[in-house]
Amino acid sequence: MRTTPTILHLDMDAFFASAEQASKPSLRGKAVVVGGLGPRGVVATASYEARVFGVHSAMPMAQARRLAPNAAYLVPRFGFYRSISEQVMGLLRALSPLVEPLSLDEAFVDLEAGKEAWDEASARLVGVRLRADIRAFTGLTGSVGLAACKMLAKIASEQAKPDGLVVIEPGTERALLGPLSVRTLPGVGPATGDHLRRAGITSVAEIAEAGEDELVRLLGKSHGHALYAMALAHDERPVVAEREAKSVSVEDTYDVDIHDRTRVGLEVRRLADRCVRRLREAGLSGRTIVLKVRRYDFSTLTRSETLRGPTDDPAVVREAAARLLDSVDTTGGVRLLGVGVSGLADYTQEDLFAQAAGELTEDPVEEGGDRPGEEERAPAERRWPAGHDVRHAGYGHGWVQGSGLGRVTVRFETPDSQPGRVRTFRTDDPDLEPADPLPLVRSVPPDASVRSVPSVPSASPAPGGARRPGGPGAEVSQESSDPASLPKSRSGNAGGAATSRP
């Protein structure tokens, strides 16, 4: 393991919720919850103001509403979050060729590989400047941890939250880890934590005291050895620049169980098309088609079929998913469906025997496209997800505060305006249309120190010129004294729209 704290871990603060607050002046300083708004939705991220009421990620949305009834509840805008993430990752890649993204809002960076840091003082200065650059380019805040290994760097960033920086100095690792809960260590989830607790082990220090043999007896050889090494602050995992995707999948949870078998088949077809679009966007293909079905009683069934060669053809994936559905009993109702593709490759096997029978469709059917019997249905009411951007011909840019009963309520404001006024329209108002998100920061301060950042829709191009980190003497802003482990941004069920109460 290294002797200098040159592994950096960045974790953006309440990322989805903070991005929403930055883009909506009326929500700044208020409780904001982002996630699926349907009866079975879950919280993706809660702002720090909402966490005061006990709301946290992965919590059922119904429970969050009981805890914080006056919070603003918004549907996620993943395209918007991804554009901000690209800016942040660009800042990190300007520091080192070894950047390991863990999610949209979290990554490890090897500062030694980029020759940006070589000792504690230079690493600390890089962390200070990185946080300033993130604020300058995105208007958001991130917490930074620096340590000699990945495990400790992540623990340090948790202790730095929100909007702080913590450096774990070499020689202090064991003292820092000792009093922490066993759940702090990677790989210790609820089940392993309960197993250790029943054995009288609740802290990291008690893991070290128990000894390697005892841990192997309790947890098995592989897990026991790894956990004992981590309790001694040993983590040899390198920062890996590319994390190869193992599968591409999509799934939907339904507010009301689906009982009609024809409707289930149409949903599977629609999910297969969405999955193929993701495959093609990533330039991938795959050999194994996977169907996931969660039934009314919460039992979850998974079926898979492996083709003779990789494909990204929508007809092949649709037909394979339909065959898999034939083997599943959906009597009683279905609450979740998912379609995925694994066995990924960056090419497509042009082998007709690997393709399903029938005429092949060149492009996937778009969501909302023609479906059997659709010509007989009345036009569907326009959907206005809470929190999404809109533009009105007369009032300009705004966002959906809520919708229902044929009406949609819009607050007209922009990231750099004062809190705006609220107006209500018919959902079919011809002057109202969906809009793209506006950039959070329209101009970058001239003293921004990053060398280069990719140009993305949500920010201005970065200026050139960077200072090389200097020697000791950099001051670190540690604005948070709360070392508690805080929820992460996660994807939730984004279905449904509900009236939000800012």
pLDDT of residue 381: 59
The rounded radius of gyration (Å) of the Cα atoms in the chain is 25
Token pair for residue 78?
A: 């993943």
Query: Mean pLDDT, 10 residues at a time, over the chain (502 residues)?
Result: 90 96 96 88 93 93 94 93 94 94 93 89 94 95 94 93 92 88 86 88 90 88 88 89 80 88 94 92 90 88 90 93 92 92 71 40 39 44 87 95 91 94 94 94 64 42 35 36 35 37 36
> What's phi and psi for 118, nearest 5 deg?
-140, -10
Judge residue 38's burial from the number of C-beta atoms within 10 Å of its C-beta, 0-12 exposed, 13-18 middle, 19 or more buried. Answer: buried
CA angle 323, 327, 329 (to 5 degrees): 130
pLDDT of residue 491: 35
pLDDT of residue 434: 94
**What amino acid positions are annotated as catalytic residues?**
106
The widest CA-to-CA distance across the chain, in whole angstroms, is 73
What whole-number distance in Å separates Cα of residue 459 and Cα of residue 475?
Answer: 28
pLDDT of residue 274: 93
pLDDT of residue 220: 87
pLDDT of residue 277: 92
pLDDT of residue 243: 67
List of E strands, 176-260? 247-258
What whole-number distance in Å separates Cα of residue 82 and Cα of residue 12?
Answer: 13
